Structure 1
């Protein structure tokens, strides 16, 4: 039975335009002109006999029919991408390795994964890792990744999420800073330079109250805009920083940082491994998650 389907390239244009709600942005993504996108969308609408977009002077918007159809089209593209990837992994004649594409935040990549890649490659020589770092959330239905490692609450819709580890926050500093200020009692956080994360202005006072210390002023000598930046500043001896364990286990083990006080406080975000339900039987994903979890547990036990 012959199928009456629109041309695939028209569906690709429709999906991009609908996702962006813009012919211009779809054109930029697909290296076409906005007029070409508009012309092709009209061809698709003529093919279907249904209006998919409402045109306005400031852009375009999906009609109710378009909103319903784009769900089907996006699911179709995901199935096609998933099937193509599975075919390549199973039947590729060029390589016997499995490609595992991972998205994670920079700190997890640089502090935990990359320093131990040699160990992973020895244990799983048939798995090729492609790791990209970003702070942005991704949609595993459409983005070109198989697995994401993220900090959050694990409540991500339409995906499988496995908790890898909890986070605890504690003051950290360079060995020289700890020696200079003779740090031994957590009450000293009231009298030494504190490094502040610019987007978490009350973090020191909140942490102090959590461990039973009142009146910790947010009088930091230095405020920086990212977690990695405040950690680097602490390594340079510029002050105390609130660091997350086990993310900083490598720096602690190597002596770049020290933990001068025993007090820690649980941090609400946890580390989760996230993947699509269709990939729940993939051995490479479970191999990496098991290896990563064991790696963190071992480092926390040292």
Structure 2
């Protein structure tokens, strides 16, 4: 494991490094002190363009471990398939490498699905999970979103922050078209983490969505019910899991609602785990 120190903001100097996990040389940053929480970015994203502002707030009271998953940011791609199983196993392996027995997970979009899969495959490693605008089954997305994936190409990202960040940070900056093709192929596969498996996970989960974020509301309700939600809280004990749907909010603008979401996330993570 290689360590270094680098600037992220004028107020904070994180520990940074590359950890060998399952044949992947994973880039990570550690900010702050306290109970550990791992941040899992969305598809094509990096620590910077996914978690700008979030790390500063969360690290006021927590040890924040932000990572860049296979092929993203400073973490080079490999010939290994990019699957939710592999990415979840990488998270668990990183925790072992950093000697962190158990952590909370916060995942956005693809990262939220990785977080749920990690809770399923490695329940001893995961305490609580915050799932932001994610699905546990491909058909959880609205049909419009499902139909769009096969039509996307690298040209759709030309000049975007996603392409700029990739070319700036990636060890293989010229491979962006190849990476887009690989990741879209993975996203277009018929994945399903399993309703029964999600229900059986001991980790409480907080599902956070926008009312126009491209996730079917029926699917959001299904995830919440699987984790014990939907009870009449005035008549019997409530589930430890939670649900929040923000109005007038899309998949992209959801991450700009940090001032609303972070206090709710802190309250969820700080609540005593039964």
Pick the TM interval, shorter chain: under 0.3
Which structure is larger by alpha-carbon Rg, 1 or 2?
1
Q: Which has the higher contact order (CA 8 A, sep 6+)?
A: 1
Between structures 1 and 2, the one with greater helix share: 1
